[in-house]
Every structure is written in structure tokens, then in C-alpha cells.
Amino acid sequence: MINETKIASLITLLDDPDPQIFSQIEGELLSYGNEVVNYLENAWERSFDALLQERIENLIHKIQFRNVREDLALWYQSGGFDLLRGILIINKYQYPDLNEQKIINQIEAIKRDIWLQMMYEGSPIENIKLINHIFYNVYGFSGNTTNHQDPKNSYLSEVLESKKGNQISLAIIYSIVAQKLDIPIYGVNLPQHFILAYADETVKGSEETGVLFYINVFNKGYIFAKKDIDQFLKQLKINPEKLFYQPCSNTEILKRVLRNLISSYEKAGAIEKSEELLQLLEVLKD
């Protein structure tokens, strides 16, 4: 049982000018974790002291960041099988009060609208045409070409609201919806671009990859072939590697999302955020 009187006393001492005393008080409050967040928020609302408010904000952020880091570590150590769960954890870095159920409902709504129009088991190309129609024409998703570096392009909650995102955020939504419909579409970690592969174990589009074709989600679900990737890599003067053609793991997808965010925040001058995201990236490394 939490001692409310003790918590209140500790919070009032957060504005102590002695760095050693402040550090001790902060450490003790941090040890309570989520249990003290409501008390801290209430104290912030009642306070007119700018220093105390700033220290409370920083303390709440430290608690919430620790939650994100621990949740991400647990996701990774458990195998990283649920892509939606993983991307929601990253989303909570910027939006700790995120309504996760709302995101899940939005994804389910897209899935349901596609499923309702699936009158029969279509061919892979027919499946993509149907998904593209719902995704781009009905829901209006598109690539954010005017403000590509905006960090909001990497947060699922923002992309679902604005219907604009970068290559990887759009691909994540598209592939999660497809997989919920038992359509084998997975992410491919291509240099300088993120694409999707339509995989099929029974029909090999290529002996090397087992991919029927590829999808450019940033370009209205455009379908293309392995030779187009060959040409793309040739233009970039990058030697082709097997991993550029095959589906990647959910962990690799999250790593790329984090790298995009780190780059976005660095360019915006938000160095503290980029350093924290580097810590999250370290969690996903063996």
C-alpha cells in the first residue's frame, strides 16, 4: 500500500536547491514507478513554481521512458512476434497516454472493410487491388511527400489520424491488415526504401526468395518485380544482397522505425530525444 503522506512530502522537496538532496528525493520517487505519476501530475497542476513544475515533468518522463524501455525489452525477449504490439510500444515513447484500443479498433475497421468486399478467394493480384482500393481510395492513405522528415510520420497514432506517413509506417499498417486477412504480405528492408513482399510458400516467384512480387506502399500500392529491385540497387551502386529481397523480421522493422525517428529528431535539433531513442535501439540489439 502506497504511503500518500510520504509521497506528498517527497514531492514538496523536489524544489530543494541542494543537488544532492534533490537527486536523493528523485531517486526515491523513481523507485515507486507508475504508482506516483498521478500524484506528480496533481502536484504539477497545483504548483506555481516553474522549477518544481520542470522537475516534476522530467521525473514523469523518466518513469514513462523506463516503462517504454522495459516493455520493448520484454517484447523483444518474447520473440517480437506481434508487430502491432511492438509499434504501439514505440508510439508510447512520444504519447505515453496513448489509447491503444483506439489504434487496434482503427486497424480492425480497415480489415473489416476489406473483408466485406472479399466475395471469394481471389488471386494475389486481385487481393492487392482490393486492399489498394480500400487503403488509398476509401481511407485516403498517402505518402507524406511535403514533410517527409516529420517525426509524426513514424507514429502509428498520427498516421492513422492524418492518413499520411512515410514508407515504413504505411507499410506497417498495410502488412498488419493483410496478415489479419491471412494474406502473406511482409516487410522488406531495402536500402533507402521500405517495401512489401507478397510471399507464397506454394508458388515460388523466385527460387531465391519465394516472393511472388513486391509492393510499393508509398506509391499507391504499385506492384513490381525482382528485376526492378536489381535496377534500383544498381542506380544506388549497392551490391545486391539476399536480405534486400526477402521479408525481414519484426525486430528489423522496429529498428528501422527507431533509426528514422533518431534521424528526424537530430535534424530538428531535439538531441535529447534522439539519445533516448538510441537507448531503445540498443534494446533490440543482440
Q: Is residue 278 in some structural domain?
A: no
Domain check: are 70 and 183 in the same one? no
Written as one letter, the residue type at 154 is: S
Mean pLDDT of the 60-79 span? 95
Q: Is residue 173 in some structural domain?
A: yes
For residue 239, CA distances in Å to 68, 208, 215, 232, 252 come to 37, 16, 21, 11, 20
Domain check: are 100 and 231 in the same one? yes
- Residue 257: is it exposed, middle or buried by C-beta count within 10 angstroms (0-12/13-18/19+)? buried
Q: Is residue 266 in some structural domain?
A: no
Mean pLDDT of the 53-69 span? 91
User: Average pLDDT over the chain, rounded to whole?
Assistant: 91
Domain check: are 68 and 205 in the same one? no
**C-alpha span between 135 and 129 (Å, rounded):** 10
Instruction: Show which of 77, 105, 132 is a domain's final residue.
Output: 77
Domain check: are 62 and 193 in the same one? no
* 95-99, 197-201, 246-250: the lowest-pLDDT one: 197-201
pLDDT in tens, 118-161: 877 789 999 999 999 999 999 999 999 888 889 999 999 999 99
Is the predicted pLDDT of residue 36 greater than 90, yes or no?
no
Domain check: are 72 and 104 in the same one? no
Residue 217 neighbours by CB under 8 Å, 6+ apart:
167, 170, 171, 174, 195, 196
Mean pLDDT of the 162-175 span? 97
- Domain that residue 188 falls in: 96-249
Domain check: are 24 and 136 in the same one? no
Helix or strand run (H / E) with residue 142: strand 142-143
- pLDDT for 205 equals 47
Q: State how many domains the chain has.
A: 2
Written as one letter, the residue type at 265 is: Y
Domain check: are 136 and 17 in the same one? no
Q: Is residue 279 in some structural domain?
A: no
Is the predicted pLDDT of residue 75 greater than 70, yes or no?
yes
Give exposure, 134-164, as e/b (b: 16+ Cβ within 10 Å).
bbbeebebbbbeeeeebbbbbbbbbbbeeeb
Closest-CA residue to 226 (of 239, 238, 244, 247): 244
Closest-CA residue to 91 (of 77, 75, 115): 75
- pLDDT for 54 equals 85
Instruction: Show which of 48, 77, 106 is a domain's final residue.
Output: 77
Domain check: are 223 and 173 in the same one? yes
- pLDDT for 260 equals 95
Cell, residue 119: 466475395
Mean pLDDT of the 21-50 span? 83
Q: Is residue 169 in some structural domain?
A: yes
Beta strands 195-199 and 211-216, pairing class: antiparallel
Is the predicted pLDDT of residue 53 greater than 70, yes or no?
yes
Closest-CA residue to 178 (of 119, 107, 249): 107
Domain check: are 20 and 65 in the same one? yes
Q: Is residue 48 in some structural domain?
A: yes
**C-alpha span between 273 and 147 (Å, rounded):** 19
Instruction: Show which of 25, 47, 77 is a domain's final residue.
Output: 77
Location of C-alpha cell 544506388: 236
Cell, residue 107: 486497424
